[in-house]
Amino acid sequence: MSARTVVLGAGANELVAAHLLAQAGRSVLVLDSSESHPADIGWVAPQIVRALDLEGHGLEVKSPDPWTAVQVTPGERLELSSDVAKSVESIRRYSPGDAGRWPAFCERMAQLARALESIAVQRPPDPMGEGFEAIAEVLGLSLRMRRMGRQPVEDLLRILPMPIADLLDDWFECDALKGALAGAGILHLRQGPRAGGTALNFLQHHAGCAPGVFRPPASNLRRILAKLPGIEIRKARAAQILVGAGKVQGVLVEGGEEIAASHVLSGLDPKRTFLQLVDPGWLEPEFVRALRAIRSRGAAAHVILELEREPDFAVLAIAPSLDYLEKASDDVKYGQVSQRPYLEARVEDRTLRVHVQWVPGNSADAAARESLGDLVVRTLGVTAAQKTVLLPADLEKAFGWPEGQMHHAEPALDQWLWMRPTPGLARYRTPIGGLFLCGPAMHPGGWMPGACGYHAAREVLRKA
Amino acid sequence: MKPYDAIIIGGGHNGLVCAAYLARSGRRVLVLERRERLGGAAVSEEVFPGFRFSVFSYVVSLLRPEIIRELELPRHGLHVLPLESTLTPLADGNYLAQWNDHDRNRRELARHSLRDAESYDEYGLRMHHMARAVKPLLAMAPPDPASLSPRDLLGMASLGGHLRSLGRERFHELCRLMTMSSADYLDQWFECEPLKATKSASGIIGTLAGPRSPGTAFVLLHHYMGELDGVFRAWGFAKGGNGSVSAAIAAAARSFGAEIRTSAPVEHVLIESGRAAGVVLQGGEEIRARRVVSSADPRCTFLDLVGEQHLPGELVSAIRRYRFRGSSAKVNLALGELPRFTCLPEPGAHLRGAISISPSVEYLERAYDQAKYGEFSRRPYLDIVIPSLLDPSIAPPGKHVMSIFVQYAPYQLNGGWTDERRQALGDTVIDTLAEYAPNIKSAILHRQVVTPADIERTLGLSEGNIFQGELSLQQMFFLRPAVPWARYGTPIRDLFQCGSGTHPGGGVMGASGRNAARAMLEEGV
Amino acid sequence: MLKTTPFHPRIAPLCASHAWRRWAGHVVASSYELSHEREYHAIRAAAALLDISPLYKYRLRGRDAARLLDRVVTRDVQRAAVGQVLYTPWCDAAGKVLDDGTVARLDDTEFRMTSADPNLRWLEASALGLEVAIEDVSDSTAALALQGPNARAILEQATDADLAGLRYFRLAHARLGNVPVTISRTGYTGDLGYELFLDAARALEAWDALVAAGRNYGITPAGMLALDLARLEAGLMLIDVDYVSARKALVDGQKSSPLELGLAWAVDLKKERFIGHGALREEAKREAQWQFAGLEVEWGSLEALYVKVGLAPQLPAAAWRTSTPVYSGSEQVGYATSGGWSPLLKKYIALAHLEAASARVGTQLEMEITVEHRRRRASVRVVPRPFFDPERKRA
């Protein structure tokens, strides 16, 4: 039997996993079925950088600065940047009290970001694990948290399940400031800022960032990984994962070729991996039930506008208040596009890339794209020479994001840590021997590119 | 005059339970209740001649069986009559009924969905296991998770041990129940919309959240904890109304020697040299005690009765952050005849249980949407019982009492809770009910509408929150009402808390009162 | 409030005892007459007519019907011939029994499955990726059992089926008068007998036709008490009495694997895979810890217990279903779950779960018996099941 390892997908996660396994002496083949790959947004963990010497290979990490700006009055914007003092000045125009609290807020949130980083770079603890190692892992995590002090532990337990609206109401009074911040809490969630668990999502966007910056950096991670030697990348799509005697035997590629393999790592979302690529006879009904219960709930669309003129902003968020965001989220609950949507627009020369929420996954026709494009242009108050609209279904087709969900599995509180994407799958192994999951549906999610692949590879190598 | 061993501020059910347990252990106890009647939100009042209303809380389930046993409440007059069904009428004249009898229930469910009829048993078994898993936690004084003291470390280890003893499957199920929305949780079990809606309604009781809000599955579980005669999820009605629950507890307390004074409003806690030395009543009377226990909610206790000048800054911030956001109302009716539901017009067993206006999850979610922005629901969720059918003593012969619990009526109403808005809420509730039981308007003899503002004014429950604070994860267990004051103590020496603003939270449970008494006795009170 | 079976209009007037009970949410007769005795004897001496409609029944049709069943049940369904019926348990992923019932192959691509508990969701959940239509026909299919030495003769009168050619655990399609029926040579009494499945709308027609044909052969409507005694003699287990479905168990100790229930013969480990296969393969490597066995009470020791208090032995009229401890010396080594006095065999028999070491045929044990309010023990011997196995059953 061949000792080949096949990796399905060629995003950052899959390539990190592939290179780590190749480093450990495996023969690795990557099957890339995507026409294009999305940009890498998120903090790249230092462990990954070190393990693959990415700095030596030209890894560039760029943090947006200012990272957001919201319109407060026509002509006046509140801007937040990595420079805490600059942000304080910007806030002071609208609320001296909030400006005074900003530095303390940044410090408190930064502590929590460190805690989440620490959690992200370990595989999820297994509180039910048998044996000394498992208990040691849980205790180790608790001690690491405790060493940060009393406050972070209290904060962690209290804040993580909170609605971001409550957290922001505790600290600030300025509607626009709260709106600007709350955006990070509702990104890629089909919930409004008053929903529990949005504070966790907010903090996940803070991991790896400077204090006061609540948007993760962008990097060229995937591009670098694709050029590193040591693995074979082939443009091909997997049609089936071949299983025999409860173990992976290989991969059948579209076109008919059978590739023998002892290990398969799938970067595809868990539902597609199992329900489309594995013979259902190998799946227990309870397992299928748990798979089906994984919620993707994509809620965002991408709109790319080619403007006639360069706009007078580098970044703009339409989020005048928490109520505005909450009302926008109400619409999607009933299957409608937000009439007054939440928008995050970033400028590159005369191209505006807009993230739009909330857009339900139910329609994907030209009329829907047209109407969303118009809505975005109207809301931003710009004139576009050209509009490209990617609805959730389009994002699914382009990037394999189920229902347009970038994290594959909704970044909700109940799909986090040892529950992500289901308790049985949280440690990258699957009921099929030799089959592992390495996509963003796994811990720590899609906020940290490459991290899921990193953990998956280490899991493969554990008890090799 | 010798000081009392303990003064308990507030004669609500938790205060009375605390007093009873302290008195039972031989302490000299005095309960001071502001109103002329005991019971807090568990009271029966003859609001209209001949009609006894359970004005606020109206059913019994969560009252801890150990309290019923240990205080011998049946001997002191507590008699709980079981509610055996839940009827969900639907707009098209159809209905969904849930019955206690397994076969009857399955047959009715199969009428709607064969799959749900099968799922129901599994769901019930799962929730049974969850209720059993949580039960020991109800009586646990929450350990401080950030503390390195031996007592807290031991407490955390004990908690960890208990959770591990659940086994993988149940532990994960518990995690999911604590973090999911009730709609998402129920979506995994059922397909029948009225069934999902009626069940998920337990997740929004007293809560300013919709069935799709994460965290409501936890409230669902909280309401599943009720036990009657060893059966989980059983609900009943106390003969004589919920006031008889308080009366039985008060009788038990008195039987152990506790003194109870009504019409005795406490103005503030007497603090001398950093310790609680007694209380001062409105009017100036000083009563001394070695210890003081407040059953009032945390805002009232810390910011009114004590005063922030006596408290550390972190606690004051935490209490200011502690959220109430009352969202419930009551409409109590005296009826000249029984309602005739279009779906089941003849009087029958269905009227002797609960009637739930919850035809779909979307219905509930839209009701919540309106409340978020400061309006009461145009078509609210209603939980209705006709207790006079179980207990004829509360209404004149042939006439009836109807108790309607309403969600959502937000405390923060745009323009405030004026008399007009109170009546408008009452009208909305009746209009909603009339869509299912057209004769209701003509059946009404008298009507009483209780808004969150009324709840606050009458009972002292801040913002009309019936749980003395939201049952959200950010303020439960060791976070309730604030770390590290979740073990019934306070920063003031000899001052304790025993209301449902402490673990395990609200509903007529009595657990806070009992836990507080035990914590105090352990400390050598 | 409770469901009634399609035969209820015939049964209700005959139920002189008004002794009803529930079966799967239906009202069924415990006995028709004031005592169940005559109904029981009809099973062994003539022919008893039993309404078994409350069984859950599923129709599985399609190219992958056999594959679905093979995924779910422990026996090899692919090997079943058209017209063959299999008795089989099925398990959860841990190899613990969920339910037991029959799988009848009506056609190459059509099966009928019966079970004690509902299984629609389980079947649907197991059908991922398979081309098969699953229909719950529990309410639309009526079912009768005709059991006893005259059963064949009655059906020869009443139907056009070739009954001589109908072998044990096979089925045939026939007409009962004008009513199309499927007749399978199966039953729950351990005797010569048949089960008939038909359209619920034709139930009363079928009943009348059978009763008319059987009049001269002693056909007797029989209730659940009679059936319970017969199935006890046949050594057959009953869900919720002799074992707890893994679906309903409150603790793991309540669950049983088929190997612990004496159903190893119904578990085909050579099948490539079925739900629970892995767990059962592992379990089969080890010695079973429990066995499901037959017990026969030693008459002398039983009589002596009663004589001591001045009574004649009080034998139960109906089979009991209470858990009864079984001892070896001073140690409890198991518990009986069904038991009673067999009027035919003139023996006091029981079905019990025993620790494997005490379950070998011939082992002498003791079973608890309460005599005049005091718990005593009677000597019992482990005997092979079934207790009653007449040649006519398979002939």
On chain B, the residues whose CB falls within 8 A of the CB of A416 are: 179
pLDDT of residue A148: 83
Q: Tokens 């649907």: give the residue.
A: C124
Angstroms from A420 CA to nearest CA on chain B: 11
Q: Say if the Cβ atoms of C121 and B107 lie within 8 Å.
A: no
Mean local confidence (pLDDT), C28-50: 97
Which two three-digit tokens encode residue B200? 């998920």
Which positions of chain A have pLDDT values less than 50? 1
What are the residue ranges of CATH 2.40.30.110 in chain C? 289-383
Q: Say if the Cβ atoms of B214 and A170 lie within 8 Å.
A: no
Per-residue pLDDT at C68 exceeds 90: yes
* Closest-CA residue to A452 (of A289, A282, A270, A250): A270
Which of C93, C125, C273 has the CB atom closest to A281's CB atom? C273
**C88, C76 in Cβ contact below 8 A?**
no
Enumerate domains of chain B plus CATH numbers: 4-42+60-79+240-322+466-522 (3.50.50.60)
On chain C, the residues whose CB falls within 8 A of the CB of A287 are: 93
B176 in contact with chain A, both atoms CB, cutoff 8 A: yes
Q: Say if the Cβ atoms of A285 and C126 lie within 8 Å.
A: yes
Give CA–CA dist C329/C307, Å, rounded: 23
Q: Could you tell me which chains touch chain B, where touching means 3 or more CB pairs under 8 A?
A: A, C
Q: At what angle do helices B13-24 and B243-255 cross, to 10 degrees?
A: 20
Which class would CATH give C7-55+139-233?
alpha beta
Mean local confidence (pLDDT), B228-250: 88
* Closest-CA residue to A34 (of A369, A305, A267, A260): A267
Mean local confidence (pLDDT), B235-247: 95
Rg (chain A; Cα; Å): 22
Residue C355: Cβ-neighbour burial (10 angstroms; 0-12, 13-18, 19+): middle
Residue of chain C with shortest Cα separation from B108: C1
On chain C, the residues whose CB falls within 8 A of the CB of A289 are: 125
On chain A, the residues whose CB falls within 8 A of the CB of B470 are: none
Q: Confidence band (pLDDT; 50, 70, 90) for C140?
A: very high
Residue of chain A with shortest Cα separation from B321: A170
Encode C89-147 in three state secondary structure: EEECCCCCEEEEEEEEECCCCEEEEEECCCCHHHHHHHCCCCCCEEEECCCCEEEEEEE
Which of A246, A275, A287 has the CB atom closest to C278's CB atom? A246
Interface mutation vs chain A, best among C128, C130, C282, most A CBs within 10 Å: C128
Per-residue pLDDT at B173 exceeds 90: yes
On chain C, the residues whose CB falls within 8 A of the CB of B121 are: 247-248
> What are A429-434's contacts with CB under 8 Å, separation 24+?
A429/A459, A430/A274, A431/A246, A431/A282, A431/A283, A431/A284, A431/A287, A432/A241, A432/A243, A432/A246, A432/A247, A432/A248, A432/A278, A432/A282, A433/A246, A433/A247, A433/A248, A434/A247, A434/A248, A434/A261, A434/A262, A434/A263, A434/A264
What are the residue ranges of CATH 3.50.50.60 in chain A? 4-61+220-295+413-461
Q: Say if the Cβ atoms of B101 and C1 lie within 8 Å.
A: yes
Encode B466-477 in three state secondary structure: CCCCCCCHHHCH
On chain B, the residues whose CB falls within 8 A of the CB of C248 are: 121, 125
* Closest-CA residue to A347 (of A294, A296, A384): A384
Q: Say if the Cβ atoms of A128 and B172 lie within 8 Å.
A: yes
Number of DSSP helices (H) and strands (E) in chain C, helices first: 9, 20
Per-residue pLDDT at B1 exceeds 80: no
Q: Say if the Cβ atoms of A281 and C129 lie within 8 Å.
A: yes
Residue of chain C with shortest Cα separation from B125: C248
Interface mutation vs chain A, best among B174, B176, B204, most A CBs within 10 Å: B176
pLDDT tens by residue, C98-125: 999 999 999 999 999 999 999 999 999 9
* Closest-CA residue to B180 (of B172, B169, B170, B190): B172
A167 in contact with chain C, both atoms CB, cutoff 8 A: no
On chain A, the residues whose CB falls within 8 A of the CB of B184 are: 295, 414
Interface mutation vs chain B, best among A137, A146, A158, most B CBs within 10 Å: A158
Q: Cβ–Cβ contacts within 10 Å for residue B300, how many?
A: 22
Mean local confidence (pLDDT), B378-399: 97
Give CA–CA dist A283/A274, Å, rounded: 8
pLDDT tens by residue, C302-355: 999 999 999 999 999 999 999 999 999 999 999 999 999 999 999 999 999 999
Mean local confidence (pLDDT), B452-478: 96
pLDDT of residue A2: 55
**A437, A425 in Cβ contact below 8 A?**
yes
Residue of chain C with shortest Cα separation from A278: C129
On chain A, the residues whose CB falls within 8 A of the CB of C275 are: 284-285
Per-residue pLDDT at B315 exceeds 80: yes
CATH classification for the domain delimited by C57-136, as one of 3.40.640.10, 3.30.70.1400, 3.40.50.1370, 3.30.413.10: 3.30.70.1400
pLDDT of residue A1: 43
Global ipTM: 0.95
Angstroms from B103 CA to nearest CA on chain C: 5
Helix (H) or strand (E) holding B522: helix B511-522
Which class would CATH give A4-61+220-295+413-461?
alpha beta
pLDDT of residue B450: 98
Q: Say if the Cβ atoms of B209 and A196 lie within 8 Å.
A: yes
* Closest-CA residue to B513 (of B26, B66, B54, B59): B66
Q: Tokens 């699914």: give the residue.
A: A396
Which of A154, A295, A334 has the CB atom closest to B184's CB atom? A295
Which of A150, A161, A170 has the CB atom closest to B473's CB atom? A161
pLDDT of residue B227: 67
Q: Cβ–Cβ contacts within 10 Å for residue A299, how many?
A: 26
A399 in contact with chain B, both atoms CB, cutoff 8 A: no
pLDDT of residue A150: 86
Which of B104, B121, B129 has the CB atom closest to C2's CB atom? B104
pLDDT of residue B524: 85
Helix (H, G, I), strand (E, B) or coil at B357: strand
Q: Could you tell me which chains touch chain C, where touching means 3 or more CB pairs under 8 A?
A: A, B
On chain A, the residues whose CB falls within 8 A of the CB of B365 are: 333
Helix (H) or strand (E) holding B346: none
Angstroms from A244 CA to nearest CA on chain C: 10
Per-residue pLDDT at B108 exceeds 60: yes
229-258 in A: which are within 8 Å (CB) of C? Answer: 246
A290 in contact with chain C, both atoms CB, cutoff 8 A: no
Angstroms from A237 CA to nearest CA on chain C: 20
Residue of chain A with shortest Cα separation from B365: A333
Which two three-digit tokens encode residue A44? 């790249």
pLDDT of residue A312: 85
On chain A, the residues whose CB falls within 8 A of the CB of C67 are: 281
A146 in contact with chain B, both atoms CB, cutoff 8 A: yes
Read off φ and ψ for residue B235, nearest 5 degrees: -120, 150
pLDDT tens by residue, C197-217: 999 999 999 999 999 999 999
Per-residue pLDDT at B313 exceeds 90: yes
Architecture of the CATH domain C289-383: Beta Barrel (2.40)
